[in-house]
Every structure is written in C-alpha cells, then in structure tokens.
Amino acid sequence: YYTVVAPKVVRPNSEYHVAVSTTGISTPSTIVVEVTGDLDTGETFRVSHEDIVEPYQARIFKLDIGDTTPGKYRITAKGLTGLLFTNTTDIDYVHKSYSVFIQTDRAIYKPGSKVLFRCIVLDSRLRPALTRQLDVYITDGKGNRIKQWQRPALSRGIFDAELELSSSPVLGDWKIVVNVVDQTFEKGFQVAEYVLPKFKVSIDVPKHATFKEGKITATIRADYTYGKPVKGEATITAYPDIFSSVVQPVYNQPVRKVIPIDGKITVDFDIVNELKLMDDYERPIEIEATVEEALTGRSQNVSTQMTLHKHEYTVELIKTSEHYKPGLQYTAFLKMTYHDGSPVRDKNNPVKISYGYTYNSSAFTNITRMLDDNGMIQLDFYPPTRSADSDELASPLNIMADYFDLHEYFAATNQAMSPSGSYIQATVRTDKPKVNHVVEIQVNSTEPLKYLHYEVLGRGDILAAGSVPANGQSLVSFTFLATYVMAPTAHVLVFYTRDDGEVVADALDVDLEGTLQNFVDIKVNPTETGPGQTVDLTISSKPNSFIGITGVDQRSLLLKSGNDITKEQVMKELKSYDMTEENPYDDYSWERGFGRFWRPGSATAQEVFQ
C-alpha cells in the first residue's frame, strides 16, 4: 500500500511539499510526484520531483512553485518501480503568499492635515518580501483615486509615504490600498471636520451583574487630558437594549438622571422599580453618560453596555475532540466561571456530573468533583469497546452538570467510526511546546502496531514527516523539532495501514509559544515634561532590526482608534495561511491547562486527511 499526503492548496512563489510512504512491500519504490495546471491564460503549468521511497518510511517531495497564475491544478503521484500505481487529485490555487500591514499615524484627520503611513510587505514567514510587483494608491470618500505609487522601492519590506490633504477635501472614509502581485490589502481612515476633545468621559460599571443584586451601580469620570477633574453636569441614562413584545413591553421609558459632577460621581439604577425588569431572561443594559463642562458648555458623551444574568456563574464543557473513540480515553473539561471570565474558586461545594452513552438520563452515571484553582474539572472517560461486527448502534456520550441552581445539559459527543473498530489517539507529552524546541507526541492504539507514520503541517504546508517502528506495541512515542514556520499551530497527523488496507488515523493541534521571533522594548525619559522640552527614547530589539516609531497626540485617540498594528492582527494574518479546521478554544490560554489537548475530532480516517 502507499499513502500520498499533500496540501489541498498550491500558492505562487512558494514550495509545495508532498509526503509519500509505502507499506506491505519489501523493496524500494521509485515514485514521481508532479503538479500540473491549465492556467486561465491558456498556458499550461508543470513541475515534478522523482525520488526513491524505502518500505515503511516517509519521504517529503519538494516542488518549487514559481510565479504562476490562477487556473485548474491537479497533483499526480506515480509509482514507477516497486509499488506501481497512479493517482491524481484536484487541488486549489490560492494566490495568498504575501502579508501586508498598513499603519497610519492617526485614524481621523482634519482637512489640510498630513496623512503619514507605512506599508509593511512580508512573506508567509513574516520576513521582508523581495517582490517589486507592488502598487499603492489612496482613494477619497467618494472612491476617487487621489494619489498612487507604482512599483515603489521597499526598504526591508517597508514603504512609507505621506499625503497632504487639501483645505476642502471630500469628507468621509478614505482608503489606502496596496496591491502586491494579485493580492489586495486595505486600510481605512476618516477625514472629517472636528475639534479635539479637551476632556474624556468614561463609565465604570460591571460588565456583568445578576438580577438578585437589585441595582446597577455606575461610576462616571470626567477628566481633562492632562489629568485634572472636570466640573459640570452629568446626564446618565439607562435602558434595556432589546425591545420585544415577548420579553417585556414594547417600549420602556429610559431612566435618566441629572447630577452635578466634579471629576467623578456614582449613580444607582434599581432593576425592578426603575428599569422595570424581571429575572426571567438575560438582559443587555445600555448606559449612556453626557458631561457638560460648566465654564464653556462643551459636552462629551460616552456609552457602554452591561448584561444582567439570572445566574451568577456559567459552566462550559470544553471538548478535546468532537468525537470519542471506543477503547481509548476521552478527556473533557468543565469550566466554571463568573460572567467576566474569572474562575469560580470553591473548595467546599462539589459539582455534580452525570454522564452516559445513552439518551436515557435515568441510566446516567453520577459523580461529584471539586473545582480546582482555575475553576476547572478534568473529566476522563473510558468508552466501552465495540467489535466491528457488533449490531449495537454507536451511542453518543451525553454529559450534564449541576452546581447549586445552575443545571446544564451539554451537546452530545459522537463516536468516531472505523470499519474494523480500530483507533489511534495522539496526545502531546511536552508541557507548553515552544518554537525551536523538541515536542514529544504519544500515540495510543487499540491494537498492536508494526509501525506508525507521522506528518507535521504548519501554515498550510507539510514541514516534517517520519516513520516510527512500533514492534507490536500499542503505545508509541516520537519527537519533532518545532520550527518557526510551524507556528502558531502545528498540525500533527499520525496514521498506519492495516493488513486489510484500512488506514487508521488521528490528528492533533499543537499550539506553539514563541511565534514572534523578535521583540521591542521602549523606555521614555522623562515620563512627564512640558512643551519645548526634549524627551529621550531608548529602544531595544535584536541586532539589525528595523524600528518604526509613531508618536501622536492622545486626544486624537479619544476620537477614533484602529490606526496601529496589533499583535492580534499579526497572529490572525499568520493563521490565514492555514487551511485546517480552527481550534474553537483558541482564545483560552495555556495556563488554563487544556489548549494542548485539542484534536480536530474527525469521525473517520478520511475526514482526518481532509
């Protein structure tokens, strides 16, 4: 038998890696892998690689994809000697091979002001792009092209420029557009008549509260940008954000209170008597505050939203996979938190958990568990083994949890399927895997293994492959070096082929720390100064780094933000190269203890490879 594992997308100006392995034979096989394409331009594309694959070994074939264009592509693998075969599969063309981050000095500009911006053009590894196929232009609020730069020179992947706005430009939303090869990236900014605010108004209110607390307490603060309190009058309004004839009368008059302010005030709203709300439903509450300065009559306003809940806490079932495998341990976590995300720490009261492989709740097994310091409970289940010829229908795993007056019935976890009833399951043995460190994977099987193949994918490409002799063992371990191009998430694929030709497989996502390989640290001296004075900046980073500095009046940030580049944007951009299923628990941190357990949870081996 043979297996050929390849990415389902091909990208221009990149390397395309294919993992090939053979089993059940005793001689080497000569295998050729080629990618061909019928381009939309009418031309044809072809690139191939030939190599020898030893029995029970995995080899990566590297194909260099040049500056190709959209079309219909396919991959073909042929066994020329040893194992003879031919297999062709369609693959998709995806033009994304560059990333562009656009930064402006502000998010909003007045007529006549100057727009400063920089474009950072990077490849899929976040390294400076070498391409010259770059065009940049700016459009106004009506879509008119105001200025453009064709094939501008890049310095370490960076192009910076400026645009002087006229005294009467088109107002509205403007755009900076970057075209690199056949990809387009945009960044918006606003042009408007405005006066920079002299002071800032904020509302401090719990984001979450319960009906039984009886009232909502909001603290209103008004301060000048230099820190002094504002004297004047504050108008505070509160009202439910949802108007429905089902959950309340069609319209409730907003509750409005007017109070003098000297920098800070606190105001209460009675939930029942003033807001006229009952505790039958979860209710979002809108709170608005307007502060009018006493001396000038200028006003600033702000609004925020909080939510009223029936229960003080919430419970969530975090699955390590969407399917369990008979005969292998299945792990899930109960996560008990307050509505602000902080964990419930309770050393006295247990959580009652009921579970069963049936829909009949009266037949469930009941257990009690205590919450740990992170508000978590690890649940280990041992699903019964079913023979392949059993007439018994596969039953989902159902779980319920009870904690005081909170009762939660979670979505069922279905059983994975195998014609022979054979399964394998991979887990990470390394605590907090990091880039440039070795990661250990352990694989458990329901039957003795002769060998095990593994492949590691990252950012939509196959980056490592290997085979491990098992010698009749059902527990096998292997290691791989986590490289930068595998981050932020390495996808580990493990499989073997049974004597009857069935492929038994599993997949595992490994979140890697150290995705960003550089750092920047900035120190300011002095931290407080007056107009016309010198401020010293001390910036630290790796040698030969390019440092970009932006300085802006913080008053402009009170009007509009979003002009800068954030770490979240960079991580999201890296993940856009990944074509696999996204971990639904990606937002949870490593410290909470379960990020490294996630499996895509495919029902069959075929779905694992898809």
| 227-262: pLDDT as tens digits | 899 999 999 999 988 655 455 544 568 999 999 999
The continuous run of DSSP H or E covering 559 comes out as helix 554-559
Cα 469 to Cα 83: distance, rounded to the nearest angstrom: 21
Q: What is the mean pLDDT of the chain?
A: 90
Residue 483 and residue 388 in one domain: yes
pLDDT tier at 281, thresholds 50, 70, 90: confident
- Give residue 305's Cα distance to chain centre: 25
Where does 323-423 show beta strands of DSSP type E?
323-324, 330-338, 351-356, 365-369, 376-381, 398-403, 406-409, 414-415
- In tens, the pLDDT along 319-348 reads 988 899 999 999 999 999 999 889 999 999
Contact 334, 355 (CB under 8 A): no
Query: Is residue 373 domain-resident?
Result: yes
Residue 263 and residue 349 in one domain: no
- In tens, the pLDDT along 548-604 reads 888 888 778 878 889 999 989 999 999 888 876 665 555 544 334 444 455 666 778
Cα 296 to Cα 301: distance, rounded to the nearest angstrom: 15
Contact 23, 497 (CB under 8 A): yes
Lowest mean pLDDT of 55-64, 304-313, 574-583, name the range.
574-583
Q: 215 forms bridges with which residues in the sheet?
A: 270
Domain extent at residue 505: 313-514+597-609
- Give mean pLDDT, residues 133-143: 95
- Give mean pLDDT, residues 309-324: 92
CATH number of the domain within which 25 lies = 2.60.40.2950
CATH number of the domain within which 375 lies = 2.60.40.1930
Residue 25 and residue 37 in one domain: yes
CATH number of the domain within which 243 lies = 2.60.40.1940
Residue 115 and residue 76 in one domain: no
Query: Is residue 489 domain-resident?
Result: yes
Residue 65 and residue 122 in one domain: no
Query: Is residue 64 domain-resident?
Result: yes
pLDDT above 80 for 111: yes
Q: Name the burial class of residue 605, with classes exposed (0-12), middle (13-18) and buried (19+) by CB atoms within 10 angstroms of its CB.
A: buried
Highest mean pLDDT among 59-63, 531-535, 560-564: 59-63
Query: Is residue 256 domain-resident?
Result: yes
Residue 368 and residue 235 in one domain: no
Q: Name the burial class of residue 247, with classes exposed (0-12), middle (13-18) and buried (19+) by CB atoms within 10 angstroms of its CB.
A: middle
Instruction: Calculate the alpha carbon distances from 336 to 319, 330, 407 in Å.
Output: 14, 20, 12
Residue bearing the bigger pLDDT, 414 or 584: 414
CA atoms within 13 A on the CB side of 66: 7
Residue 156 and residue 172 in one domain: yes
Query: pLDDT value at position 196?
Result: 76
- Give mean pLDDT, residues 131-140: 92
- In tens, the pLDDT along 11-22 reads 988 899 999 999
488 prior amide bond cis, ω within 30: yes
Q: Which residue shows structure tokens 């193949």?
A: 453
DSSP annotation of 55: B
Residue after which a domain boundary falls, among 147, 167, 191:
191
Closest C-alpha among 598, 607, 601, 605 to residue 423:
605
- Give residue 216's Cα distance to chain centre: 34
Query: pLDDT value at position 594?
Result: 46
- Give mean pLDDT, residues 306-318: 92
Residue 175 and residue 230 in one domain: no
Contact 188, 118 (CB under 8 A): no
Closest C-alpha among 367, 381, 434, 368 to residue 412:
381
Lowest mean pLDDT of 122-131, 521-530, 599-608, name the range.
599-608
- Give residue 175's Cα distance to chain centre: 26
Query: Is residue 495 domain-resident?
Result: yes
Please tell me the total count of domains within the chain.
4
Residue 390 and residue 507 in one domain: yes
Query: Is residue 37 domain-resident?
Result: yes
Q: Which residue shows structure tokens 């029970």?
A: 56
Residue after which a domain boundary falls, among 309, 340, 371:
309
Residue 485 and residue 407 in one domain: yes
Cα 520 to Cα 538: distance, rounded to the nearest angstrom: 10
Cα 530 to Cα 532: distance, rounded to the nearest angstrom: 6
Lowest mean pLDDT of 132-141, 204-213, 298-307, 596-605, name the range.
596-605
Query: Is residue 565 domain-resident?
Result: no
311 token code pair = 């229960």
Lowest mean pLDDT of 373-387, 431-445, 467-481, name the range.
373-387
Query: Is residue 129 domain-resident?
Result: yes
Residue 232 and residue 85 in one domain: no
pLDDT tier at 412, thresholds 50, 70, 90: very high
Residue 340 and residue 476 in one domain: yes
Closest C-alpha among 108, 112, 130 to residue 121:
130
Residue after which a domain boundary falls, among 74, 93, 112:
93
- Give mean pLDDT, residues 142-148: 96
Query: pLDDT value at position 490?
Result: 93
